[in-house]
Every structure is written in structure tokens, then in C-alpha cells.
């Protein structure tokens, strides 16, 4: 019997939505869910890239109402649970209730890593609805393992059943992930599980996930073909294949996942995330991956380089929700160049 058992969550239809500029259609969602469900992936996340109610001028409009997509996903899934992401303030309990009515069984409440307290009422509401609850501590690299564990404790006490170390910038390297996961495991003492969500900016998404599992994480995120914000996520099919080689039990069908990635998702992709100058910069200086497309748009509009914008965003320490400040940085860089 394997020493390690892991539950995979596939977030192609949520984090991958960033790379697709939130243009997933209902037909595409149905096909991807069917393929992931056939591969026995236990949890599939479907929402706008920035979570419930993310469709907006600031974050980018969805092509199709996410509630329609959530319902379609729930209709297609035979064994998988459908998860939704929510950022408190952007999404509210009203949207959470509607997502639940449409068939969502899991909610992942995401806050900046120092702001866990804003998730408390959302966990209470989700538990009252009977949903599985997950906490997402974004940009987890920004604080020490000890400080992160204290934030995880706030989430667990509010009713969160699994707290994630989230490498939103793809900045972590091996022990960065393991030390944070260990600190959370020590703090939570079984009151909640610990998960890890990796990105590929420095090409460590899968490696960090292995370190996370060995440090005690029992839930790991990925996306098919690594489709996701910034340089993309840990690819689900690679995680599954690597875990199989390392005797980490996932219960998924690796060949079916490779089929899903290659034959089902690949033809839908309009922009494949890559490790380019801008996304490597995000990993290097620790900038939120969802900022990439905003920076590219501002770069074009103000005639400055996206990697320069992102380097400055890193210096200023902006966090998710401060997307509008990217324009400010671009204008400032333009003025410096004159």
C-alpha cells in the first residue's frame, strides 16, 4: 500500500479560464468535464478565472454566464464534485447560494495570505449549505511558514476543511513549498487537511507538488496541459503520471487524463501559457499570475514592456484585487522613459 494518498483537483475550467480570457463555452465545459470525470478526477473547479462574479470590467467579462457553466458541469459529472472559487467581496454569499443550487458541492474561498479573516462568514455560509470547504491562501510565499500557519488556523476555526498553500506567482522552490505545508500540518493537527496549488513560472509546479505531498499535503491542484494564469499551472496529467511513478496514490486514470489533455482540451486552447520573459519575471519577483494579461494590455497601450511593468508591480508589492494599479505603473514607466 502506498504511503501517500492524494486527492487531485483539476482547475482547467477556472484557473485555465485566465489564459482563455474567460471565453469557455458551455459545449467546451461539457466536453472537458466529461473527459475529467471519465479519468476519475474527484474534484473539478468551474468559475470565472477570478472566481464567482469575476465577470466584470476590471477582471474581464466571461463569454458565458458562469452559473450556466456550473450547471452544465454538474450535469455532466457522474462521480466528480464540482467546485467553485470565490474571492470574498468580489463574489458574495448570494452567488455562492446560486452556485450551490446549480450543483456546486465544493467552495474554495481565496484570500490574500494575510487576510484569512475575510473568509470567516463565507465558510459559515458554505457549511450551512452542506458544501465541502477549502481555503486558498494566495501569494503564500509573501509570509513565513509560521505566519501562514496562523492564517490557516483562522480558516480552519471558521469551518474550512482543507487549507491550501497557494503559489500564485510560481515563485516557490521546493523547500519553500514543503516548509509551508509542514507548518500548516503542524498547526492544524488534523482539524483540516492541507493542499498545494502550483504554478510553472520557474518550472517547479510539479516538483513543488511532490515536496508538498511528502510534507503532508493531501490535496493537489493542476490544470490540463497546464492551462492557467501567468506561465500556467502544474499540468494535471503530468502530476498524475509523476505521482504514479513515485507511488503516490491518486485513484485517477493517467491514460484517460492524457487523452483529455491532448484530444479534448488542446483544440480549444486559444493561448497557450508559456515561460516567457514576462511570466518568468512574475516567478522571479513573486507577482500574482492573474496580472499577466492586464500587464500585456497596459504594455501595448502605453508603449512599455510587460516584464518591466511586472517587475515594478513586484517592487510595489501589489496583491490580487489591485489590477487597476497596473495602469498606474505603466503610465509611470512611460513618464520615466520620456
Ligand X SMILES: C[C@H](O)CC(=O)C(=O)O
Interacting residues with ligand X (CB under 6 A):
15, 49-51, 87, 110, 138, 166, 168, 197, 229, 289-290, 320
* Binding site partner of 138, from ligand X, Mn ion, none, Cβ cut-off 5-8 A by kind: ligand X
Instruction: Select 84 or 213, whichever has its Cβ closest to ligand X.
Output: 84
* Binding site partner of 290, from Mn ion, ligand X, none, Cβ cut-off 5-8 A by kind: ligand X
Q: Is 221 a known ligand-binding residue?
A: no
Instruction: Select 224 or 333, whichever has its Cβ closest to Mn ion.
Output: 224
User: Which residues share a beta bridge with 88?
Assistant: 91
**Selection from 230, 236, 169 nearest residue 10 by Cα:** 236
Q: Is 127 a known ligand-binding residue?
A: no
Minimum distance of ligand X from residue 109's CB (angstroms): 11
Minimum distance of ligand X from residue 78's CB (angstroms): 26
Instruction: Select 105 or 199, whichever has its Cβ closest to ligand X.
Output: 199
* Binding site partner of 239, from ligand X, Mn ion, none, Cβ cut-off 5-8 A by kind: none
Residue 45 CB contacts under 8 Å (≥ 6 apart), including other chains: 9, 10, 11, 13, 14, 15, 82, 83, 84, 85, 106, 108
Q: How far apart are CA 67 and CA 58, in angstroms?
A: 19
- Residue among 18, 100, 112, 141 flagged as catalytic: 18
Does the active-site annotation cover 18? yes
User: Which residues share a beta bridge with 222?
Assistant: 10
Q: Is 199 a known ligand-binding residue?
A: yes
Would you give the distance in Å from CA 288 to the centre of its chain?
Answer: 11
- Cβ contact 172:166 at 8 Å: no
Minimum distance of ligand X from residue 8's CB (angstroms): 15
CA 130, 54, 87: angle at the middle one, nearest 5?
50
Residue nearest to ligand X (CB): 168
Minimum distance of ligand X from residue 139's CB (angstroms): 7
Q: Is 288 a known ligand-binding residue?
A: yes
Residues that bind Mn ion in the complex, under the rule CB under 5 A: 15
Minimum distance of Mn ion from residue 18's CB (angstroms): 8
* 306-316 helix and 325-337 helix, angle to the nearest 10 degrees: 120
Residue nearest to Mn ion (CB): 15
Residue 207 CB contacts under 8 Å (≥ 6 apart), including other chains: 174
Q: Is 302 a known ligand-binding residue?
A: no
Q: How far apart are CA 43 and CA 61, in angstroms?
A: 25
* Binding site partner of 9, from ligand X, Mn ion, none, Cβ cut-off 5-8 A by kind: none
Minimum distance of ligand X from residue 10's CB (angstroms): 13
Enumerate the H helices of 110-253 as residue ranges. Answer: 120-129, 145-157, 175-188, 205-214, 236-245
* Binding site partner of 193, from Mn ion, ligand X, none, Cβ cut-off 5-8 A by kind: none
Instruction: Select 249 or 296, whichever has its Cβ closest to ligand X.
Output: 296
Instruction: Select 15 or 193, whichever has its Cβ closest to ligand X.
Output: 15
* Phi-psi sector, 117: left (phi>0), alpha (psi -120 to 50), beta: alpha
Quote the cell numbers at residue 18: 485566465
Instruction: Select 55 or 333, whichever has its Cβ closest to ligand X.
Output: 55
Q: How far apart are CA 142 and CA 191, in angstroms?
A: 24
Check residue 333 and report its DSSP letter: H
* Four-point Cα dihedral 135, 139, 143, 146, nearest 10: 30
Positions at the binding site for Mn(2+):
15, 197, 199
Positions at the binding site for substrate:
14-15, 168, 197, 288
Looking at the annotation, which residues are catalytic? 18
Amino acid at each position: 500500500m502506498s504511503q501517500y494518498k492524494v486527492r487531485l483537483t483539476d482547475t482547467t475550467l477556472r484557473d485555465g479560464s485566465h489564459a482563455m480570457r474567460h471565453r469557455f463555452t458551455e459545449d467546451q465545459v461539457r466536453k472537458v468535464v466529461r473527459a475529467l470525470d471519465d479519468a476519475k478526477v474527484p474534484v473539478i473547479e468551474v468559475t470565472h478565472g477570478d472566481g464567482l462574479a469575476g465577470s466584470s470590467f476590471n477582471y474581464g467579462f466571461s463569454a458565458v454566464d458562469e452559473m450556466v457553466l456550473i450547471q452544465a458541469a454538474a450535469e455532466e459529472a457522474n462521480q466528480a464534485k464540482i467546485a467553485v472559487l470565490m474571492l470574498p467581496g468580489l463574489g458574495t454569499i448570494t452567488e455562492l447560494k446560486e452556485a450551490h443550487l446549480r450543483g456546486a458541492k465544493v467552495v474554495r474561498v481565496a484570500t490574500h495570505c494575510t487576510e484569512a479573516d475575510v473568509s470567516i462568514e463565507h465558510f459559515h455560509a458554505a457549511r450551512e449549505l452542506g458544501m465541502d470547504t477549502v481555503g486558498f491562501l494566495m501569494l503564500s510565499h509573501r509570509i513565513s511558514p509560521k505566519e501562514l500557519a496562523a492564517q490557516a488556523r483562522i480558516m480552519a476555526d471558521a469551518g474550512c476543511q482543507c487549507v491550501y498553500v497557494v503559489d500564485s506567482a510560481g515563485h516557490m522552490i521546493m523547500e519553500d513549498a514543503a516548509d509551508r505545508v509542514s507548518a500548516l500540518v503542524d498547526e492544524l493537527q488534523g482539524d483540516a487537511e492541507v493542499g498545494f496549488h502550483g504554478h510553472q513560472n520557474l518550472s517547479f509546479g510539479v516538483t513543488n507538488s511532490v515536496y508538498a505531498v511528502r510534507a503532508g499535503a493531501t490535496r493537489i491542484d493542476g490544470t490540463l496541459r497546464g492551462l492557467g494564469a501567468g506561465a500556467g499551472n502544474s499540468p494535471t496529467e503530468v502530476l498524475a503520471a509523476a505521482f504514479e511513478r513515485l507511488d503516490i496514490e491518486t485513484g485517477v486514470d493517467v491514460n484517460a487524463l492524457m487523452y483529455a489533455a491532448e484530444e479534448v482540451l488542446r483544440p480549444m486552447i486559444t493561448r497557450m501559457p508559456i515561460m516567457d520573459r514576462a511570466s518568468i519575471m512574475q516567478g522571479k519577483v513573486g507577482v500574482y499570475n492573474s496580472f499577466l494579461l492586464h500587464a500585456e494590455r497596459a504594455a501595448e497601450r502605453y508603449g512599455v514592456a510587460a516584464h518591466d511593468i511586472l517587475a515594478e508591480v513586484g517592487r510595489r508589492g501589489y496583491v490580487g484585487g489591485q489590477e487597476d494599479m497596473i495602469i498606474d505603473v505603466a503610465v509611470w514607466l512611460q513618464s520615466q522613459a520620456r
